[in-house]
Amino acid sequence: MDTSQTPSLLEIARIFMRMGFTAFGGPAAHIAMFHDEFVTRRRWLTDQHFLDMLGATNLIPGPNSTEMAMHIGHARAGLRGLIVAGLSFIIPAALVVLLFAWLYTTYGTLPAAEGVLYGIKPVIIAVVLQAIFNLGRKATKSWGYVVLIAVVFVLYLLGINELLLLFGGTLAALTVVNARRWFAGTTMIAPLLLFTQNVAAESEHARTLTELFLTFLKFGSVIYGSGYVLLAFLQSDLVERLHWLTAQQLIDAVAVGQFTPGPLFTTSTFVGYLVGGVPGAVLATVGIFLPGFIFVALISPWIPRIRQSAVLSALLDGVNAAALGLMAGVTVELARAALIDGLTVVLAIAAAVLLIRYKISATWLIVGGGVLGGLIHGLMAPG
């Protein structure tokens, strides 16, 4: 790892703001972009340190890729770096979503984005596959971890819950690696601390900003996995219980979260705007992301110490392997949606060549894919 120069807070902010405006494709794609930027290009982190951050991120609630940004900021500039990196990644995406929310409420529809997504999705597949390959070489320390990755991958595609796979895979690795120590009489205290928060029962139909903030604070405190898990909570709480949204508004909010850059949790910005205008958008966004800042600040300093422990190191190795298996499974799902014809397959292959052979930045490849997709879509449009 290059430690000769510690980046300034301004540099950290600049890099993550750029990525906040260009990081399309969801958590798996964001993490792949982070790996390309901070491990391959800038060498701020080693593959092992990056993997350990990814493993720790999967053990706490909240948006995975945003918390990875916070971990990277903390590793380079301490608590201030954590805050700057997190805010710089969130704010650009939230502003873009806020713009779409205003357009939606003003004109009643969403601007067309099919063409941009058509070009971006195949590029994302290439970026994610490269990250999985690079991280996999470090994570597969023995054939046992290869088997664990494969099992998690297959079970995920069969529909097994991702949290069960993550914690089950971690527990399996921990048990196998440390079996001899346990049978020899060594005891261990499990280091998994799950933070949960129960918000007091809210009165139905009350559209107060305080209630909005507390609802999204609850979401940020208990939701594991990707931003897609958020959708179930939005449906249950905001559509069915509180009646703040209609089913169609929820579908539109999901669409905005999918075709805008940055964390998928910025769907909260869109929902908050629909419920309470700009103040609602701000409070919903702060509420859902605030727990992540707290969790990462608590756990990030302990990652190197966990790695130095012979027993707890197996925990990180296990969760790293399980996380890569889940990442591979998500990539298959992304590929099914992205590679829909011969042209998108060609785009994916071209992006892989430019990324691997010519070391073109993943950020600019995604921007180029969006521009090219928009042009192609325009040429193919009728009339």
Three-class secondary structure assignment of 203-231: CCCCCCHHHHHHHHHHHHHHCCCCCHHHH
Q: How far, in Å, CA of 247 to CA of 235, rounded?
A: 8
Q: Is the pLDDT at 355 greater than 90, yes or no?
A: no
Q: Please, what is the average pLDDT of the chain?
A: 79
Q: Regarding predicted confidence, which is higher, 78 or 176?
A: 78
The residue among 362, 361, 328, 317 whose CA lies nearest residue 51 is: 317
Q: What is the pLDDT of residues 362-383, one digit of tens each?
A: 778 877 888 898 888 777 766 5
Query: Residue for token digits 């990056």?
Result: 50
Q: What proportion of the chain, given as a percentage, has pLDDT over 70?
A: 81
Q: How far, in Å, CA of 264 to CA of 362, rounded?
A: 19
pLDDT of residue 109: 62
Q: Is the pLDDT at 86 greater than 90, yes or no?
A: yes
pLDDT of residue 205: 38
Instruction: Give the amino acid at 116.
Output: V
Q: And the tokens for 234?
A: 């939005």
Instruction: Give the amino acid at 279.
Output: P
- Residue 321's contacts (CB-CB under 8 Å, 6 or more residues apart) are 139, 140, 145, 148, 149, 152, 169, 173
Q: How far, in Å, CA of 186 to CA of 188, rounded?
A: 7
Q: Is the pLDDT at 264 greater than 90, yes or no?
A: no
Q: Is the pLDDT at 55 greater than 70, yes or no?
A: yes
Q: How far, in Å, CA of 230 to CA of 369, rounded?
A: 28
Query: Residue for token digits 């193919």?
Result: 380
Q: What proportion of the chain, given as a percentage, has pLDDT over 90?
A: 27
CB atoms within 10 A of CB 250: 20
pLDDT of residue 185: 44
Exposed e or buried b per residue across 259-296, where buried means at least 16 C-beta atoms within 10 angstroms of its C-beta: bbbbbbbbbbbbbbbbbbeeebbbbbbbbbbbbbbebb
Q: How far, in Å, CA of 80 to CA of 62, rounded?
A: 20
Q: What is the pLDDT of residues 303-327, one digit of tens each?
A: 887 777 766 677 777 777 877 787 7
Residue 61 burial (10 A CB sphere; 0-12, 13-18, 19+): buried
Q: 53 by DSSP, 3-state: which?
A: helix
Contact predicate 44/3, CB 8 Å: no
Q: Give helix 114-139 / helix 310-338 axis angle, nearest 10°.
A: 150
Q: And the tokens for 179?
A: 């079996």
Q: E strand or H helix at 311, and its extent? A: helix 310-338
Instruction: Give the amino acid at 161.
Output: N
289 confidence band (pLDDT: 50, 70, 90): very high
**Residue 293, φ and ψ in degrees, nearest 5:** -60, -40
Q: And the tokens for 56?
A: 């720790």
pLDDT of residue 179: 63
Q: How far, in Å, CA of 374 to CA of 122, rounded?
A: 13
Q: Is the pLDDT at 230 greater than 80, yes or no?
A: no
Q: Regarding predicted confidence, which is higher, 207 or 236?
A: 236
89 confidence band (pLDDT: 50, 70, 90): very high
Q: What is the pLDDT of residues 13-38, one digit of tens each?
A: 999 999 999 887 777 789 888 999 99
Instruction: Pick from 44-48, 122-126, 189-193, 236-240 the range whose average pLDDT is largest.
Output: 44-48
282 confidence band (pLDDT: 50, 70, 90): very high
Q: What is the pLDDT of residues 93-123, one digit of tens each?
A: 999 999 989 988 887 666 556 677 688 778 8
Contact predicate 137/146, CB 8 Å: no
Q: What is the pLDDT of residues 59-80, one digit of tens each?
A: 788 888 899 999 999 999 999 9
Query: Residue for token digits 């219980």?
Result: 241
Which ranges constitute the DSSP H helices of 208-309?
209-222, 228-233, 247-259, 267-299, 303-308
From first CA to last CA, the distance across the chain in angstroms is 54
Q: And the tokens for 82?
A: 């954590």
Positive/negative CA dihedral, 236, 240, 241, 242: positive
239 confidence band (pLDDT: 50, 70, 90): confident
